[in-house]
Chain A
């Protein structure tokens, strides 16, 4: 089973929901793994504090040009869809960060002067908090593309676990990558105009992907009607509300999980609603 937690808006509480839900389920004795797909800023491990057992490097392929056989015909640069190559008087220049590792340049080279080499862009870490398995992808600073790490993370999703995916914020490419194929999507939002605006976009994206989903209102207060009206109009379930509470903020800022009885009920409810749907 695969449950994705997404938000459309950063700072809404995806990680709070995802880590606590994963922790709660593992406490109940379920076979759970938490996967942090927010590779640009993976912060789930701050709360789960797993002991890291395995680390893998994530590498992408980049072209390497053999200057002695290259005739500088320029075909590789012309055919490259991403403008990652340039032919100059001093040979062929490769712009590694623009390269999408498609391999077309090595196919079109008439003299076979291009081979593919590997370049590290980040890593994947696997660890454990008691019986909860926790996985995260970390993109190296300055790298523009996290998708190759997400592709590797996806391989670690196994059907015999309950997989809780902590998606990146927003509704971009990498969010689509992490959510597609989920059995359920938890859309975390906050009762503000910004929250509503981004919720509308995220709801459209997840609908296109054909994933059943429900909304969790975090920082819930007297403004909830903004979200409630929208959800009613669109026929979206509001599965739970997490109150706007100082004690939650304090725990969050210390990097702690919400282990109080009152919150356990919240996560119990979220999980039982998900089980009803999927």
Chain B
């Protein structure tokens, strides 16, 4: 199973980025082999549709689960129609969240945040 985290850094000790569309990196952990891969998020610098771009990337990487904190309506639509489950991270680091997921302690995100949440609602009127 491939678990994808929105991350601020490139290692398993990095902080979980609360944003999905505009997080800096995605860290994808294969739970069978315990190997992980770091992918730079193109949505981070995207002028338009950061969430769509980020979600496209996650779909291309073949993730089964996404762990983040806030996800917008567009990204959510793409992930759910690709049957990717989304969980809300509780701990600070990627590693700790992975542990919580294994213990089944994370909640699934069912509702998206307002769009442009990552821009501190400058546009989310």
Interface positions of A (Cβ within 8 A of B): 77, 81-90, 93, 95, 98, 100
Contact = CB atoms under 8 A, between A and B. Distances in A.
Interface of B: 43, 46, 48-50, 52-53, 55-56, 59, 74, 77-78, 81-83
A89 B78 CA distance: 9
Nearest to B83: A89
A interface, by DSSP: helix, strand, loop or mixed?
A: loop
Contacts of B77: 86, 93
A83 B83 contact: no
B53 A88 contact: no
B103 to A, nearest CB: 29
Contact of B56 (A81, A82, A87, A98): A87
A93 B81 contact: yes
Q: Which A-B residue pairs are the 5 nearest by beta carbons? A: A83-B49, A83-B52, A90-B81, A82-B48, A88-B82
Contacts of A89: 81-83
B interface, by DSSP: helix, strand, loop or mixed?
A: helix
A84 to B, nearest CB: 6
Contacts of B81: 88-90, 93
A202 to B, nearest CB: 21
A88 B59 contact: yes
Nearest to A90: B81
Nearest to B59: A88
B25 to A, nearest CB: 18
A86 B83 contact: no
27 contacts: A81-B48, A82-B48, A82-B49, A83-B43, A83-B46, A83-B48, A83-B50, A83-B53, A83-B56, A84-B48, A85-B52, A86-B52, A86-B56, A86-B59, A86-B77, A86-B78, A87-B59, A88-B81, A89-B82, A90-B81, A93-B77, A93-B78, A95-B49, A95-B52, A98-B48, A98-B49, A100-B48
Given A83-B46, A83-B56, A86-B56, 10 more contacts: A77-B56, A81-B48, A83-B49, A84-B48, A84-B52, A87-B59, A89-B83, A90-B81, A95-B49, A95-B74
